[in-house]
């Protein structure tokens, strides 16, 4: 175990309970609508295949009926010491860009549509009942990931300036790449800041709208917020708390954007308190079976869980939607669920007293301890 890993596990809330939380980002976002779109953009020289972008842009798309049913079957097949099934906290986006309205408006204004409207556009409205079923059965309990997985101001600026790659991606109904000539930050970073005052004002409105829309979609208010790509200013975090967030996810070393390329860093740990009753939840385990690099495999994740439990920490696992969807490649869904089943099987074998819970349930335990 490295010294830095040892050091990072020392501060923060502790428990003797073997708590396991699985947080899964990006649910609700379009990402890549089809492989035809991906191939067209790649052939046009748009950087959809650079680095980890290739994994997301060839595998990640809206979850369909088969995806949700397969994931639910996996989760419900495993029970913890309290006879509760395994549960995922999907971090859900409330909306996506309304490409038709933006284009009709000649790119002069931004328009969005709700996630459920997006599902209808993609002939996947049959999944709406499954989203509600997953919550009812407490195996798929959505929380707030933002309004869109998109930096609206950066994206609209690029479109208005007629950036070639951004327009090409727009015509293919996606935005998940780093534009070569516009900014060093991906459009995916919804709360990244370039111009402090304008961006913060816009982001506060986005958070307020997104939370209200989440409540309409899911018939309840969210309590937990995971900012996309982890880049967010403290003022926007405070706005999320003002809109009902009791818990916010943060990297252990959070880089806060300050605009004009400047930033500052904050050290955070699980259970750290912020303003107005906020509690931070940090992730300490990573499980990305669709990722071929080091640090995210089954063996790596089990090692992370072991370290967490040795330091009397809950195991908070990060595992993105991309691992469990098959709309672009059904083999990916099969492989992801197979890997998740093996992870859950081995966890229960190693630690029979494991307790599965959502991020909010963990937060409530921390708050009441």
Mean pLDDT of 330-348: 98
Examine the pLDDT at 3 and tell me if it is beyond 80.
no
Examine the pLDDT at 336 and tell me if it is beyond 90.
yes
Q: How confident is the model at residue 253 (pLDDT cuts 50, 70, 90)?
A: very high
pLDDT value, residue 5: 63
pLDDT value, residue 183: 57
Pairing of strands 253-259, 262-267: antiparallel
pLDDT value, residue 237: 97
Phi, psi of 113 (to 5 degrees): -125, 155
Q: Is 207 exposed, middle or buried (0-12, 13-18, 19+ CB in 10 A)?
A: buried
Q: Is 138 exposed, middle or buried (0-12, 13-18, 19+ CB in 10 A)?
A: middle
Rounded to the nearest 10 degrees, the angle between the axes of helix 35-43 and helix 164-171 is 160
Examine the pLDDT at 349 and tell me if it is beyond 60.
yes
* Structure confidence by residue, pLDDT tens digits, 199-237: 999 999 999 999 999 999 999 999 999 999 999 999 999
HEC-encoded secondary structure of the chain: CCHHHHHHCCCCCCCCCEEEEEEEEEECCCCCCCHHHHHHHHHCCCCCCCCCHHHHHHHCCCCCHHHHHHHHHHHHCCECCCCCECCEEEEECCEEECHHHHHHCCCCCCCEEEHHHHHHHCCCHHHHHHHHHHHHCCCECCEECCCCCCCHHHHHHHHHCCCHHHHHHHHCCCCCCCCCCCCCCCCCCCCCCCCHHHHHHHHHHHHHHHHHHHHHHHCCCCCEECCHHHCCCHHHHHHHHHCCCCEEECCCEEEEEEECCEEEEEECCCCCECHHHCEEECCCEECCCCCCCCCCCHHHHHHHHHHHHHCCCCEEEECCHHHCCCCCCHHHHHHHHHHHHHHHHHHHHHCCCEEECCHHHHHHHHHHC
* Structure confidence by residue, pLDDT tens digits, 49-71: 988 889 999 999 999 999 999 99
Q: Report the distance separating Cα 237 and Cα 309, nearest Å.
A: 29
Q: How confident is the model at residue 295 (pLDDT cuts 50, 70, 90)?
A: confident
pLDDT value, residue 178: 82
How many Cβ atoms from other residues are within 10 Å of residue 60's Cβ? Answer: 24
Residue closest to 148 by CA, chosen among 200, 92, 226, 105:
92
pLDDT value, residue 10: 82
Examine the pLDDT at 181 and tell me if it is beyond 70.
no
Residue 328 lies in domain? 3-368
Mean pLDDT of 72-99: 98
pLDDT value, residue 342: 98
Q: How confident is the model at residue 296 (pLDDT cuts 50, 70, 90)?
A: confident
Q: How confident is the model at residue 294 (pLDDT cuts 50, 70, 90)?
A: confident
Cα-to-chain-centroid distance, residue 264: 23
Q: What percent of the chain has pLDDT over 70?
A: 96
Mean pLDDT of 350-356: 98
Residue closest to 35 by CA, chosen among 20, 54, 21:
54
Q: Are 115 and 125 in contact (CB under 8 A)?
A: no
Q: Report the distance separating Cα 169 and Cα 229, nearest Å.
A: 20
Q: What percent of the chain has pLDDT over 90?
A: 88
Q: What is the CATH number of the domain that holds 220?
A: 3.20.20.370
Return mean pLDDT, the chain: 95
Number of domains in the chain: 1
Q: How confident is the model at residue 182 (pLDDT cuts 50, 70, 90)?
A: low
Q: How confident is the model at residue 21 (pLDDT cuts 50, 70, 90)?
A: very high
* Structure confidence by residue, pLDDT tens digits, 130-160: 999 999 999 999 999 999 999 999 999 999 9
């Amino acid at each position: 175990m490295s010294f830095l890993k040892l050091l990072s596990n020392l501060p923060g809330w502790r428990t003797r309970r073997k708590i396991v939380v699985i947080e899964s980002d990006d649910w609700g976002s379009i990402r890549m609508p089809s492989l035809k779109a991906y191939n067209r953009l790649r052939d046009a020289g748009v950087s959809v295949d650079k680095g980890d972008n290739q994994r997301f842009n060839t595998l990640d798309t809206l979850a369909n009926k088969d995806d949700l049913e397969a994931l639910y079957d996996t989760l419900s097949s495993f029970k913890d010491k309290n006879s509760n099934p395994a549960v995922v906290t999907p971090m859900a986006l409330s909306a996506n860009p309304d490409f038709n309205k933006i284009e009709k408006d000649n790119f002069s204004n931004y328009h969005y549509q709700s996630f459920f409207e997006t599902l209808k556009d993609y002939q996947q409205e049959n999944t709406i009942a499954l989203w509600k079923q997953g919550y009812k059965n407490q195996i798929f309990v959505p929380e707030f990931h933002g309004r869109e997985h998109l930096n609206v101001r950066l994206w609209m600026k690029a479109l208005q300036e007629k950036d070639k790659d951004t327009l090409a991606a727009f015509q293919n109904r996606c935005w998940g790449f780093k534009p070569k000539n516009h900014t060093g930050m991906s459009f995916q970073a919804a709360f990244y800041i370039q111009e402090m005052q304008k961006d913060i004002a816009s982001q506060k409105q986005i958070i307020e709208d997104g939370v209200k829309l989440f409540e309409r979609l899911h018939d309840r208010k969210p309590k937990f917020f995971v900012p996309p790509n982890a880049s967010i200013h403290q003022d926007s975090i405070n706005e999320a708390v003002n809109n009902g967030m009791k818990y916010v996810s943060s990297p252990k070393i959070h880089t806060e954007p300050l605009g004009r390329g400047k930033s500052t860093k904050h050290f955070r740990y699980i259970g750290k308190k912020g303003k107005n009753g906020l509690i931070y939840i940090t992730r300490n385990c990573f499980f990305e079976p669709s990722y071929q690099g080091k640090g995210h495999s089954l063996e790596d994740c089990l090692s992370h869980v072991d370290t967490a439990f040795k330091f009397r920490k809950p195991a908070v696992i990060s595992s993105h939607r991309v691992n469990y969807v098959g709309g672009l490649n059904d083999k990916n869904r099969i492989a992801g669920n197979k890997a998740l089943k093996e992870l859950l099987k081995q966890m229960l074998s190693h630690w029979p007293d494991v307790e599965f819970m959502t991020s909010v349930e963990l937060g409530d335990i921390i708050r009441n301890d």
